[in-house]
Amino acid sequence: MNKSQLQQHDRNHLLHPFTDFHDLAQQGTRVITAAEGVYITDMDGHQLLDGMSALWCCNLGYSRSEITTAIHQQMQELPYYNSFFQCTTTPSIELADVLTKLTPVGLNNVFFTNSGSEANDTNLRLIRRYWDLLDQPSKRIVIGRNNGYHGSTIAAASLGGMSGMHKQFEPLDYVEHVQQPYWFGEGGDLSPEEFGLRAARSLDEKIQQLGPENVAAFIAEPIQGAGGVIIPPESYWPEIKRILAQYDILLAVDEVIFGFGRTGQWFGSDYYDLQPDLMTFAKAITNGYFPLGGTMVGDRIAKVIKSKGGEFTHGFTYSAHPAACMAGLATLKILREEKIIENVRDNIAPYLAKRWNELADHPIVGEARSLGLVGALELVKDKAGRTRFDDQCTAGGICRDMSIKHGLVMRATGDTMIIAPPLVITTAQVDELMEKAHRALDDTAKAMA
Ligand SMILES: *Cc1c(COP(=O)(O)O)cnc(C)c1O
């Protein structure tokens, strides 16, 4: 099929995730046909620097044959067997072992799923099971955050706080949401540190309002990803930790984006010194090459669910798929042996921060922030007032399109431009990214003038 045939069949038969089908039919899809290193290529031969690591997952880029070979070898040896009914496979045991060593102390058990959404569903089931086994059945409510993202199943989307999603289904009635630590958007006249405390204390207020005896757990991303790379003020996480300890509420940290090196530490929980009771992972664990997710289960919960009787009636046909686990093992081996994360921490992240901050001087950039290998730009009409151009987020859409025109994949979340390049990006490629982003901003400024 040629490009226009492909686009036509796509339009006729394929329903894409998070897509306005009407718009897509007008515009047509970009058919990605190849990728190498940190670049993707479309059917027209247009090469793009992938500033988003696909969907925050191809952290080692697209050319790691160690991972594809590991998958292939496993497929030839034992393409599949399940972990139900007292059975198991070697790769799943080995990956569980490696994960318990790499993750923060106290996380010594893992439950595998196929995706981040399923892993967060699993968290809900584990949280409920834990409090039930402890004879505290009133502890039922889980608190998430406005504009958080935890996936797209009913449970995961309920835990998330995306209002556009909540409008299209009935969210679970035992999930509540509190303020996000988004200083640029919601901080008003407070300093970032004051606002960080304010946002954290919205959790305290919610707990008091619901009654601590009714609150089971709090779930959050260390840094919001899909919500717009929202990096909390330094004051935020210590205050959240204090509040959770005060009321004896479990902490589930969703590391689907920040796990495996994105902050320059192995996990966002390492970066912020969190001790989660549950820790969700997916995406980068297989470098995006094979579907795999899961949740690390803290000793506090594991002790209870493993020692008290009865079956945990939960799991998936492909939980701990051997080929997925081999992809995970191969990915983690590269991360460790090539000291990828140390290089992010010591070299690439500081360089990206320096270059990214330069964009703050651009006339339409109200804030440029970054941490590790994520960055965000707030597009504004008026810098001092933090005023947007319009309510339709026109600037964000234009900037994304201009960026692609100049050969860079940058994502727009409203009028917030975000990047999360592969961890293996070089300083020269960071320079290329910056130059392209700069041109996209210039074009956007012209279009919005
Ligand atoms: C992508 C994402 C998920 C959902 O993972 P899927 O594999 O798409 O189900 C959950 N949490 C966060 C933070 C994510 O970024």
Half-sphere exposure of 386 (CA within 13 A, CB side): 12
**CB 374 less than 6 A from any atom of ligand 1:** no
pTM score > 0.95 for this model? yes
| pLDDT per position as a tens digit, 198-209 | 999 999 999 999
| pLDDT per position as a tens digit, 281-295 | 999 999 999 999 999
- Checking if the pLDDT of 46 tops 80, the result is yes
| pLDDT per position as a tens digit, 336-378 | 999 999 999 999 999 999 999 999 999 999 999 999 999 999 9
Note the pLDDT of residue 28: 83
**CB 116 less than 6 A from any atom of ligand 1:** yes
Percent of the chain with pLDDT over 70: 100
φ/ψ (deg, to 5) at 32: -90, 125
**CB 255 less than 6 A from any atom of ligand 1:** no
**CB 366 less than 6 A from any atom of ligand 1:** no
**CB 161 less than 6 A from any atom of ligand 1:** no
Q: Can you tell me which atom of ligand 1 is nearest the CA of 153?
A: 9
Note the pLDDT of residue 308: 86
**CB 254 less than 6 A from any atom of ligand 1:** yes
Mutate which of 123, 145, 162, 257 to test ligand 1's pocket (most atoms within 8 Å of Cβ)? 257
Mutate which of 159, 256, 281, 418 to test ligand 1's pocket (most atoms within 8 Å of Cβ)? 256
Percent of the chain with pLDDT over 90: 97
Q: In which band, very low, low, confident or very high, does the pLDDT at 100 lie, cut at 50, 70 and 90? A: very high
Mean pLDDT of 114-119: 98
Q: In which band, very low, low, confident or very high, does the pLDDT at 309 lie, cut at 50, 70 and 90? A: confident
**CB 225 less than 6 A from any atom of ligand 1:** yes
**CB 148 less than 6 A from any atom of ligand 1:** no
Q: Which amino acid is at 387?
A: T
Mean pLDDT of 11-29: 91
